[in-house]
């Protein structure tokens, strides 16, 4: 087979978070030529989490950066190529090939797996970014149990915040819910359930001004409530104001849901043949690291079947041409 320019990979994985790296481990181990491209850092949002306490196999938890490094090293050991600083801007199917447009050189692949994940909406206030994973959190299921018997602050007043508060009240001694508007928004059932929680205080018309930190520990927030400055104290703050899907490059080519997450079928296949999606970027995902890893692996098994069928069709076509 003559080399192509650009080279043709069996699989290009867009996104080097847990889902993408887990997929690369499985694909490269089966001699599927695999390239993982990442526009930022290996590990994605997981790498920014100080301690991941609910990933199976680590009874004392594991640092997000450490877990990311282990997944990266394992993918590299099996032969996957991983390149950072590659920002995919567009994908398109041309014949049996998927072409990827980047700010650098174009890429070609027989299959593509999108694992670009999602990004938590942030408040954008002083102290927030610096304390992510160290008192500022975006996932109650991930980090809530750490605060057993302690006070918490939850920022948000929609379905996401209400759903997560139902979980957090199992652990926290008391929760102060700070809502930007004059009322809760979202499901009537959730609003009713939240109103019955005994260890919850809801404060409306509140805007967060900054995260308060002392001795490198979160102590609470400074806020404006009904036009007055107020300080709310707690060692943990959960910012639950929604997620942003990292799908800007795919809006013109793939079918997305009403929140811009990628729609797939039961086999992780998108609206373009040969293009799959897994992990937090996929519509219907659970936004859990363990689930993202499982989806990455499951999608890779589907991709292997697709490549096997493609190779069979190519051999059949060659035999027919020479008959």
Number of structural domains the chain divides into: 2
- Cα dihedral: 199, 203, 209, 210 (round 10): 0
Q: What is the pLDDT of residue 133?
A: 86
pLDDT-derived band at 212, boundaries 50, 70, 90? very high
Within-domain flag for 3: no
Contacts of 311 (CB under 8 A, 6+ apart): none
Instruction: Kindly report, residue by residue over 267-314, the tens digit of the pLDDT.
Output: 999 999 999 999 999 999 988 899 999 999 999 999 999 999 998 888
Q: Are residues 102 and 195 in the same domain?
A: no
Same domain, 53 and 111: yes
Same domain membership, residue 247 and residue 192 = no
Assessment of whether the complete model's pTM goes beyond 0.75: yes
Q: What share of the chain is helix, strand, coil (3-state, %, to 5)?
A: 30, 30, 40
Residue 256, domain member (yes or no): yes
Boundary of a domain, candidates 239, 266, 285: 239
Is 60 exceeded by the pLDDT of residue 1? no
- Domain boundary pick from 221, 239, 257: 239
Tens digits of per-residue pLDDT, 7-35?
899 999 999 999 999 999 999 999 999 99
Q: 55: exposed, middle or buried (C-beta count within 10 Å: 0-12, 13-18, 19+)?
A: middle
State mean pLDDT over 32-53. 88
Give residue 237's pLDDT band: very low, low, confident or very high (50, 70, 90): very high
- Return d(Cα 313, Cα 310) in angstroms, integer: 5
Last residue of a domain, one of 216, 239, 262: 239
Q: Output the pLDDT for position 322.
A: 77
CATH of the domain at 166: 3.50.50.60
All residues at 6 or more sequence positions from 151 whose CB lies less than 8 Å from its CB, including other chains: 172, 173, 174, 175, 176, 233, 234, 235, 236
**pLDDT for the residue 246:** 95
| Position 227 in a domain | yes
- The residue range of the domain holding 249 is 8-120+243-322
- Whether 113 and 169 map to the same domain: the answer is no
Residue 2 lies in a domain: no
In this structure, the answer to whether residues 192 and 267 fall within a common structural domain is no
Residue 82 and residue 31 share a domain: yes
Q: Examine the domain organization and report whether 208 and 277 are in the same domain.
A: no
| 6 upstream amide cis, omega within 30 of 0 | yes
The answer to whether residues 164 and 299 belong to one domain is no
Q: Would you tell me how many other CB atoms lie within 10 Å of the CB of residue 280?
A: 29
pLDDT band, very low/low/confident/very high, at 263 (cuts 50, 70, 90): very high
For 155-195, write each residue's pLDDT tens digit: 999 988 998 999 999 999 999 999 999 999 988 999 999 99
DSSP state of 175: E
Task: Tell me, yes or no, whether 280 lies in a domain.
Answer: yes
Asked if 175 and 274 sit in the same domain, the reply is: no
Average predicted confidence (pLDDT) for the chain: 93
Is 39 domain-assigned? yes
Say whether both 107 and 211 belong to one domain: no
Residue 171 lies in a domain: yes
Assigned domain for 277 exists: yes
Same domain, yes or no: 105 and 250: yes
Asked whether residue 89 carries a pLDDT value surpassing 70, the answer given is: yes
Indicate if 195 and 249 belong to the same structural domain: no
Count of CB atoms situated within 10 Å of the CB of 323: 5
């Amino acid at each position: 087979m003559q080399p192509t320019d650009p080279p043709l990979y069996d699989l290009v994985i867009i996104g080097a978070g847990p889902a993408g790296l887990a997929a690369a481990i499985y694909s490269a181990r089966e001699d599927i030529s695999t390239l993982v491209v990442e526009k930022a850092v290996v590990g994605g949002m997981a790498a920014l989490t100080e301690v991941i306490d609910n990933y199976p196999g680590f009874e004392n938890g594991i640092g997000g950066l450490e877990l990311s490094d282990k997944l990266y090293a394992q993918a590299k050991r099996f032969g996957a190529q991983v390149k950072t600083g590659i920002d995919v801007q567009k994908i398109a199917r041309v014949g049996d090939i998927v072409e990827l447009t980047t700010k650098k050189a174009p890429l070609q692949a027989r299959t593509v797996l999108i694992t670009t994940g999602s990004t938590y909406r942030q408040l954008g206030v002083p102290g927030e970014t610096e304390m992510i994973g160290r008192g500022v959190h975006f996932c109650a299921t991930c980090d809530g149990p750490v605060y057993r018997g302690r006070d918490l602050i939850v920022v948000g007043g929609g379905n996401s915040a209400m759903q997560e508060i139902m979980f957090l009240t199992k652990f926290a001694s008391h929760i102060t819910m700070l809502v930007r508007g004059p009322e809760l928004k979202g499901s009537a059932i959730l609003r009713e359930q939240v109103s019955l929680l005994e260890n919850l205080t809801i404060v409306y018309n509140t805007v967060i001004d900054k995260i308060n930190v002392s001795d490198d520990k979160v102590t609470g927030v400074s806020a404006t409530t009904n036009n007055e400055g107020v300080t709310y104290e707690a060692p943990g703050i959960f910012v639950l104001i929604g997620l942003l899907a990292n799908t800007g490059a795919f809006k013109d080519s793939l079918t997305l849901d009403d929140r811009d997450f990628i729609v797939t079928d039961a086999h992780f296949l998108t609206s373009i043949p040969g293009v799959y999606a897994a992990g937090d970027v996929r519509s219907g995902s659970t936004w859990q690291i363990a689930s993202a890893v499982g989806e990455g692996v499951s999608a890779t098994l589907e991709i292997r079947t697709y490549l096997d069928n493609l190779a069979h069709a190519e051999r059949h076509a060659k035999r027919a041409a020479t008959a």
